A and B are shown apart, each in its own frame.
Chain A
């Protein structure tokens, strides 16, 4: 589809939001009491932030919930049975104000969940999701999107991309049919775009991901991993806040004879993640697990999934309790 650029005034955004909220769930960022930014369903428009640098959690939960039921079952000896989860009940959701790193992360997740075999839960949620992206007009020292092939104004993954103008109004770039459908709800709100530049954050490139990928090919036994993971306490916070981490666990839960089998977020940083029943563990120490995290994202995924497992959002570094900084490590990896 041919993309179009329109002007949408700040006050028209409220009308667009109201129109969307009538028919769909809208997931938008608000500033919580402790000043952290979190996404909520259908908040008051006045509470929505347009100035945040990064939410604490990513928005991957829209397509990969923390806990997702896979089947329901009844456990009754000879008469056990399985009931399907009805994916047709997955609702339409509009994600409002996702930064370009988070919007791009959906493609990365697709490269995992739809690689080889297609995961219907993920696919259905993505199909029902419309992304209204919000280009970044500011950033912080943790942001490194430009080092991983993205930019503060990347359109990848967005159906409509909003970019702030000097006037405080927004440019709305309508990128897909889904975006067109959303814009079509209130066509009167979109005006002709004047010749005016958008405000874009200046995120300096710190490393070249292609160089990192190249370097990692022969780096499995390098002392780098031990030296750079001594601090790691294996808490898994990095994976929890990461928009592209997709490793999961599958567990059963029962009440009486009835139960569910669900999957839940997991992390390669945990020692139990790869532990065999025999007691053998292929990744028994933290340095092996840290290496897996970096290798998976920057070497194995480019090779196997044709995607890079990182969008440069910087959340893992902001959230790390022992201040491990992934951008610093990747920069250092270029020259090992």
Chain B
């Protein structure tokens, strides 16, 4: 075992899914089976993914820890590394370091109703915990997922949305922004906060998990409050630029809080106590 905390695992791309025109999901398998056997993570954690020669990029592990044979990540082509990642093919090698960060406290959620609310490319950081709780389905009460994107084309995990829609033990509501619908669209039309207000899930014995662009969070929070959710029962993830992943490189801190060590999972109660630096 290497003492080098910067040394990545070598991963083989086992499968690639084109989620949208600029979003892809990779299924990654450890090239070294010993490393695969030792590797363990929990829902909410993230890693540093690299294309050798281009650099590293930070994103969550999007697959569930209950599925041990592989990890998955979903990314949008945006910067240098993600553009290079997007050019890779099945069988190619990428680097991966991790897991880093804290986790969703899913053990504490046992017996509760879970309300997942995600917008756009923010479903991937939530997909891990969604699948984790679905794979342990009998531990939780009602599970509701509200997922919105700008257009139908921007919805990620379309194949899974179909599965979730068909499952009797999941209530899935999908929505697209007005004008983003196609003629055959059967979901909701409207912004996530409006749809949440309409669906109006009860806050009794419930936990809300919210991930999305800042503008969506800003307008969804008041609706959650109106529904009676307490700050301590609302979870979200923060994302700040990172290089190391273990509290040394100096980038991701929000005040004295390191997103990479203390996060990325925070309750809204913790977020309101932070300075606005995220």
Contact = CB atoms under 8 A, between A and B. Distances in A.
A78 B256 contact: no
A304 B253 CA distance: 11
Interface residues of A, number: 53
Given A80-B10, A82-B8, A282-B277, A75 B244 contact: no
Contacts of A70: 4, 6-7
Interface in A249-300: 249-252, 254, 259, 261, 263, 266, 268, 273-278, 280, 282-283, 288, 292, 295-296, 299-300
Nearest to A251: B55
A116 B78 CA distance: 32
B2 A84 contact: yes
Contact of A112 (B7, B240, B248, B275): B248
B187 interface: no
Contact of A82 (B95, B275, B278): B95
Contacts of B278: 282
B23 interface: no
A249 B247 contact: no
Max count, chain B CB within 10 A of own CB: residue among A274, A283, A288? A274
B10 A248 contact: no
B214 to A, nearest CB: 8
A119 B244 CA distance: 11
Contact of B249 (A120, A221, A248): A248
Interface string B87-106: 00101110100000000000
A248 B243 CA distance: 8
21 contacts: A70-B4, A71-B6, A71-B8, A113-B248, A115-B248, A117-B246, A119-B5, A246-B250, A247-B251, A248-B244, A254-B52, A261-B50, A261-B52, A263-B249, A275-B241, A276-B241, A277-B79, A278-B78, A283-B277, A300-B253, A300-B255
B251 A78 contact: no
A115 B278 CA distance: 23
A220 B255 contact: yes
Contacts of B93: 77-80
A117 B53 contact: no
B249 A247 contact: yes
Contacts of A247: 249-251
Nearest to A85: B4
Contacts of B50: 252, 261
B72 interface: no
B34 interface: no
B53 A248 contact: no
The 7 A-B pairs with the shortest beta carbon distances in the complex, nearest first, are A247-B250, A80-B93, A75-B52, A70-B6, A277-B79, A254-B53, A300-B256
Given A82-B7, A82-B8, A250 B243 contact: yes
A268 B55 contact: no
A296 B2 contact: no
Given A84-B2, A254-B53, A71 B79 contact: no
A146 B247 CA distance: 29
Nearest to A247: B250
A299 B256 contact: yes
Interface string A100-126: 000000000000110111111000000
Nearest to B261: A116
Given A82-B10, A252-B52, A117 B255 contact: no
Contact of A250 (B52, B55, B82): B55
A173 B278 CA distance: 48
Contacts of B4: 70-71, 84-85, 120
A60 to B, nearest CB: 14
